[in-house]
Amino acid sequence: MENIKANVMLDAKGLACPMPIVKTKKAMNELAAGLVLEVQATDIGSKADMKAWAESTGHQYLGTLEEGDVLKHYLRKSSSDETMEEKHPNVAKNEELEKKLKEAENIVVLDVREAAEFAFNHIPNAISIPLEELENRLHELNKEDEIFVICRTGNRSDLAAQKLTENRFKNVINVVPGMSQWSGETTSINS
C-alpha cells in the first residue's frame, strides 16, 4: 500500500457516528489552510460522512484508503486565498491542455498540489512537485520544456508559474480552473 503523506493524523478508531466527524471538525479548526489531515476510523459509515462533511464545509475530500478494518480518510483544509486573482500572464483552459495531451505533444504537466491530492487523482505522467517544494526541486525540470502547471483551482499553479518564470523557465502555462474541474483522463493509487 502506498504511503500518503498527511500533515496531521487523527485517531478516531473505535468511535461511532457522529464522533469521527466531531473530532475531525475540531482537528480541522486547528489545522493551517492547505494542509492535509488523515483521519483513521473504524466506523464504516465514516466514509460517506467524511465526504459529505468536507463538501458541506468547503474542505476538500481527497479520498479514503482501507487497511484491514481501518479507514484512512484524507481531507485538505480549504484556504481563503484559493480565489485569488491570476497574475501569471500565460494561461490555458483545461480543455486546451486536454487537447495537447491527446495530440501527444511533447509537453510537461507539473502538478503542484500536495502529494496526497496527487496520489488520489492526477493526470497520467504528470510530475508531482508540491508548491512548497518547488524552489528546492527546480533542477528536476528542463527550462526549455513547455510546462503546463496545474493545481486544484489555478491559484497554487499561478504562484508556481510565476516562480518558474522568475527562474528563467521559457514556456510556462498556468492551467485553469485546474483539477477541481478536470474532465480528462486521470489515474490514482486506487486505479
Query: In the structure, what pLDDT confidence band is assigned to residue 1 with cuts at 50, 70 and 90?
Result: very low
For cell 478516531, what's the residue? Answer: 12
Q: For residue range 148-162, what is the model confidence (pLDDT) as tens digits?
A: 999 998 889 998 999
- Is 151 one of the catalytic residues? no
Query: In the structure, what pLDDT confidence band is assigned to residue 131 with cuts at 50, 70 and 90?
Result: very high
Q: For residue range 80-124, what is the model confidence (pLDDT) as tens digits?
A: 554 455 588 889 999 999 999 998 778 999 999 999 899 999 999
* Region of 10 on the Ramachandran plot (φ > 0 left; ψ -120 to 50 alpha; else beta): beta
The reported pLDDT for the residue numbered 190 is: 66
| CB-side neighbour CA atoms (13 Å) of 71 | 20
Distance CA 100, CA 93 (A): 11
The reported pLDDT for the residue numbered 112 is: 96
Minimum mean pLDDT range among 2-6, 37-41, 118-122, 133-137: 2-6
The reported pLDDT for the residue numbered 80 is: 59
Region 131-146 average pLDDT: 95
Closest CA to 188 of 106, 134, 126: 126
Does the pLDDT at position 182 exceed 50? yes
Region 32-50 average pLDDT: 90
What is the residue-averaged pLDDT of the chain? 89
The reported pLDDT for the residue numbered 58 is: 83
Q: For residue range 11-33, what is the model confidence (pLDDT) as tens digits?
A: 999 998 888 999 999 999 899 88
The reported pLDDT for the residue numbered 70 is: 95
CB of 64 within 8 A of CB of 71? yes
The reported pLDDT for the residue numbered 188 is: 84
Query: In the structure, what pLDDT confidence band is assigned to residue 191 with cuts at 50, 70 and 90?
Result: low
Given 8, 15, 17, 115, the catalytic residue: 17
The reported pLDDT for the residue numbered 51 is: 87
